[in-house]
Amino acid sequence: MKVSRTDELITAISAAAIVVGYTADTPPEGPTAEADAATNGAISKLIEAGEITGKAAEVVSILAPAGLQTTQLVVVGLGPADSLDRGSVTRAIGSAAKHLAAKERSRVAFFVGDWDGPLVEAGVSAAICACQGQDIHRETNKLHPFDEIRWSGAPEGALEAGQVLGESVNLTRRLVNEPANYIFPQTFAEQAGAAAADAGLEVEVWDQAKLEAERCGSLLGVSRGSTREPRLVILRYHGGAADQPPLALVGKGVTFDSGGYSLKPNDSMKTMKCDMGGAATVLGAITAIARLKLPVNVIGLMGLVENMVSGDAFKLGDVLTARSGKTIEVLNTDAEGRLVLADVLDVAAEMKPGGIIDLATLTGACCVALGLDVAGLMTNDEELRGRVSAAAAACGELTWELPMFDHFGEQIRSDVADIKNIGEGRWGGAMTAAKFLEEFVGDTPWTHIDIAGPAFLDSAKSWIDAGGSGAMVRTLVEVARDW
């Protein structure tokens, strides 16, 4: 998709569709007022009739509008003037673009206001994401990327940054949406390598032999039941000073999770292609960071396994020895993501980063606590957690901190090994999982993001299709911008 700035008047530009913005409870202004005048007051008449209210993400189409060189004029609601931010822009522009993407369009022009760079960036990113759906294996897609986006009055660099963000979020979404017979540890590693090469990243891949040599017994324990060998992908971006401690991004990459011998029921298993969402998020974020040439050093680490059932699969009661030397009693083979992350976090901590952020579709308990749209944050360092929270708020992504009280850590003490991989009963499962991960980061500042809810959408929203959402890619890029 080509994205470029236009300085043409709204009455002069030729496009398959033109999008204008309308702020609630105000008269049409700027390009919207110009479009209203050109169409003999069509927008004003619809406002007076209550058909256009300016409600956030409301989409109203005017077909074959007089006075404009387009077949469709779309008026998108921006909500109240004082509520306009990157989150509301994402929802509004995404809704307009998704509405138009139902059919093939050549050029779509956006005349939505005199916005600053971050708002334009959010809008362009949202438009690109809205045009990609989960139907990647259908003969005929339901959503169609535009050939070209023209954006009126964009600040320098904002269009390019928005395109990078949108394409990087879509990379994450596509990988999450691919079925497990297409994306498994080897193929994920291959696609990560290709994306990394395009972005100018250094690539290192640990195969089965290397993982064994590195004593990654916890990760390898999970992978035993699958015929697909595991991988650890390490990507490095050097954008900062040579002596600047890097930011480490760690992702859980369980490319399919059957639950192992703690077998999931059918309804819980059918979307488990998404259990590599953390790894896909790390890949999307670090490629965006590199393409944006941010002045920061970043390492991305993705632990990739399948959790399957076979005669060699790990069992309840097994004791695994992690790379750090800690022993782990396995009391639930469906609590496998933390076992994968245990070794990957140990590798990350050994690299002496300035901070570690891990992302994982880790616990249903986090969904119970926070719902499906909010990511849970757990940390050993409030300063790092605050940076993540601030970045998420700036991007319009929803997060909430969950407590890390000592008694949650006591619940994972084992009588037969150093720790066990579940707590005591169903209560507080998101926090006991985080306390498990904390065992493997040492003194490194660390924040865990449980994206079990927002990483995969069971149903579509007006601004994005169902399936992989790319949640937290934008947040990680925002953290890197201020690292």
DSSP codes joined into one string, 187-238: HHHHHHHHHHHHHT-EEEEE-HHHHHHTT-HHHHHHHTT-SSPPEEEEEEEE
Which is catalytic among the residues 5, 264, 461, 481?
Answer: 264
Q: Which amino acid is at 239?
A: G
Q: Within 13 Å of residue 269, how many CA atoms lie on the same side as its CB?
A: 13
Contact 465/133 with Cβ under 8 angstroms? yes
Q: Which two tokens stand for residue 233?
A: 């992908």
C-alpha Rg value of the chain to the nearest Å? 24
DSSP codes joined into one string, 346-373: HHHHHT--SEEEEEE---HHHHHHH-SS
Q: Which two tokens stand for residue 13?
A: 């530009």
- What residues form DSSP beta bridges with 74? 19, 61
- 425 C-beta neighbours (distance < 10 Å), count: 9
> Which residues are CB-contacts of 201 (< 8 A; sequence separation ≥ 6)?
235, 236, 237, 286, 287, 290, 300
Q: Is 338 a catalytic residue?
A: yes
Which is catalytic among the residues 105, 236, 338, 435?
Answer: 338
Q: Is 138 a catalytic residue?
A: no
- Closest alpha carbon to 477 in 259, 247, 302: 247
How many residues are present in the chain?
483
H/E run at residue 59:
strand 59-63
Question: Is the alpha carbon torsion for 89, 278, 367, 267 positive or negative?
Answer: positive
> Which residues are CB-contacts of 43 (< 8 A; sequence separation ≥ 6)?
20, 22, 28, 32, 35, 36, 52, 62, 75
- Active centre residues (catalytic): 264, 338
